[in-house]
Structure formats: C-alpha cells, structure tokens
Amino acid sequence: MNHEMGLYPENFETVKSGQKRREYRLYDEKRQNIRPGDTITFYNTESNKRVTVLVESLHIYGDFKTCYQDFWEEDFADRDQL
C-alpha cells in the first residue's frame, strides 16, 4: 500500500538525497495503517516534487523523548556540529 505525506522543503531534500532515513511522526489514526513493506510518497509542500520510499520497519514509542534517546546518535549527532 502507498501512503502520501507532506514534507517541508529542507526535510524533503534530505529524504530525497538519502541523508534522512527515518521519519518521526505521531502514531495517529492515519499512521496506524502503515506497515513494513508499504511505500510512502513524500511530497515537497512548496514545489509538489515527490519521492517514494520503502517502509522497512516501524518503531512505536509512547513519546518523542524516548524515541530520540534511542536514535539521537544515529540520526542527529552530526547536526550538533552545525
């Protein structure tokens, strides 16, 4: 199944380039339909350009803080240098 989600331009470009490999979203009603093996088509909210990615896995957390603790080094450590 394919799902569509919007991204701001700077986030869209990092997904498109492969630099950003994990997306953080609330596990709301819409996201509860996503399964590993599905695809997500992200669209740039300004230009409407699109990129489609494969959902490899889901990690469900009760809050963002716990999730960030698990993935901070892998996903954000290089941004501390900016």
**Mean of the pLDDT values across residues 26-35?**
95
pLDDT at 80 over 60: no
The domains of the chain, with CATH numbers, are: 2-81 (2.30.130.30)
Q: Provide the mean pLDDT of the chain.
A: 91
**Confidence at residue 82, expressed as pLDDT on a 0 to 100 scale:** 45
Instruction: Give this prediction's pTM.
Output: 0.84
pLDDT at 5: 97
Q: What CA–CA distances, in Å, run from 44 to 35, 60, 65? A: 23, 25, 26
* Mean pLDDT (whole number) for 2-21: 94
The H-or-E segment that residue 64 falls in is: helix 64-76
Q: DSSP code of 13?
A: H
